[in-house]
């Protein structure tokens, strides 16, 4: 599968799920939907059913759901029958739920994908088996050897490298009793972790406690039942949500370079790479992008879902809609911000793909 087709598949799924969220919740609350479009620009093909026009448009970089009475300025021109199914005439809480449904469905898509992967393939766990030991490190001095399996720290059993690393990191330099399995014999070694300078995922300097060992790279597969798979999928999604939010905050603050922001060209290249690695990699990539799309849409920028939620929140507090002129000005500002962001994204895409 080449990058272009992988890009269309990935983006098509993300857009459909997002717009379907708006669509289905609007229908639940009795709001009429005039158009359901995958893409922008000229209509390519589609069909009409129950007063809704479903179609695919020429530019596959988004989509939209056009609801009856969506524009507050059209209220005066609506008939009584149209007002009954008008978005603007619904209670503010229902309007908020319709707007929030798009990004919420993207989050649910990630949970569903991770659930399917965990339930079908189980969980691959990195064993706490030593692959290399720095002879001058605390582990080397204490006598840890290549091939040792670390089975407990301070009497608490371990079954994964991650759990072991977390216990060591939390030690704050306190001496640990590390139990290892060597040649089917259990040995207890006393190791005092040392503090080292390192960098985190964002390239920021941090301090962490280590003992000077690296993993052998051995894995085991742990099968998960439906409940365990659901728990892991929700947990996995939540971790990526936190990471995405933190990344956005750091980009806004300037802690992370704006060069890390990618767009359609970068997504297409990465989608092609993941497709070559296999279906599991591709659907995992879709889940990660779906989370990113949800978080970005929740940003309080006018014209995005988060901007609409901001207006509706103000309306709920004040008891009246935000002044129409003020909304128009803020939406123009939002459009300007998005245009500048798109220019930056395409610049980064072109620079990274063709000039690096």
Q: Which residues are catalytic?
A: 19
Contact 96, 102 (CB under 8 A): no
Q: Write out the E strands in the chain.
A: 33-49, 52-67, 123-126, 130-133, 149-153, 156-157, 176-182, 185-191, 194-199, 205-210, 213-215, 219-222
Give the position of tokens 């956005």.
Answer: 248
Helical axes 279-297 vs 3-28, angle rounded to 10°: 50
Residues in the chain: 356
Q: Which tokens in the block code for residue 78?
A: 């609506």
Q: Which tokens in the block code for residue 259?
A: 């060069």
Task: Work out whether the CA dihedral 315, 319, 324, 325 comes out positive or negative.
Answer: negative
- What whole-number distance in Å separates Cα of residue 84 and Cα of residue 69? 10
CB atoms within 10 A of CB 323: 10
Nearest to 19 by CA among 112, 111, 103: 103
- What whole-number distance in Å separates Cα of residue 156 and Cα of residue 68? 61
- What whole-number distance in Å separates Cα of residue 346 and Cα of residue 166? 39
Contact 166, 178 (CB under 8 A): no
The three-class DSSP label of residue 85 is: coil
């Amino acid at each position: 599968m080449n990058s272009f087709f992988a890009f269309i598949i990935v983006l098509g799924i993300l857009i459909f799920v997002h717009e379907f969220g708006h669509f289905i919740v609007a229908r639940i609350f009795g709001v009429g939907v005039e158009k359901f479009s995958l893409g922008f620009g000229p209509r390519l093909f589609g069909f009409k059913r129950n007063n809704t026009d479903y179609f695919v448009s020429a530019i596959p970089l988004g989509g939209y759901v056009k609801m009856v009475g969506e524009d507050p300025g059209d209220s005066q021109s609506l008939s009584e029958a149209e007002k009954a199914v008008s978005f603007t005439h619904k209670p503010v809480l229902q309007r908020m739920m319709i707007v929030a449904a798009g990004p919420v469905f993207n989050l649910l898509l990630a949970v569903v994908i991770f659930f399917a992967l965990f339930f079908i393939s189980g969980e691959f766990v990195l064993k706490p088996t030593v692959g290399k030991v720095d002879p001058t490190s605390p582990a080397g001095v204490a006598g840890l050897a290549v091939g040792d399996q670390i089975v407990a720290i301070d009497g608490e059993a371990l079954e994964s490298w991650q759990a072991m690393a977390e216990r060591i990191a939390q030690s704050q330099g306190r001496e640990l009793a590390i139990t290892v399995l060597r040649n089917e014999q259990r040995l207890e070694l006393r190791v005092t972790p040392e503090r080292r300078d390192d960098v985190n995922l964002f390239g920021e300097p941090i301090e962490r406690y280590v003992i000077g060992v690296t993993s052998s790279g051995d894995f085991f597969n742990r099968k998960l039942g439906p409940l365990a798979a659901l728990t892991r999928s929700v947990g996995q999604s939540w971790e990526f949500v936190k990471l995405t939010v933190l990344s956005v905050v750091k980009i806004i603050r300037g802690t992370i370079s704006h060069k890390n922001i990618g767009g359609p060209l970068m997504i297409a290249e990465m989608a092609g790479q993941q497709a070559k690695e296999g279906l599991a990699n591709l659907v995992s990539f879709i889940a990660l992008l779906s989370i990113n799309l949800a978080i970005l849409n929740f940003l309080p920028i006018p014209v995005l879902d988060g901007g609409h939620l901001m207006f509706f929140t103000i309306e709920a507090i004040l008891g009246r809609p935000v002044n129409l002129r003020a909304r128009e000005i803020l939406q123009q500002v939002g459009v300007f911000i998005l245009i500048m962001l798109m220019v930056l994204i395409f610049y980064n895409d072109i620079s990274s793909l063709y000039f690096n």
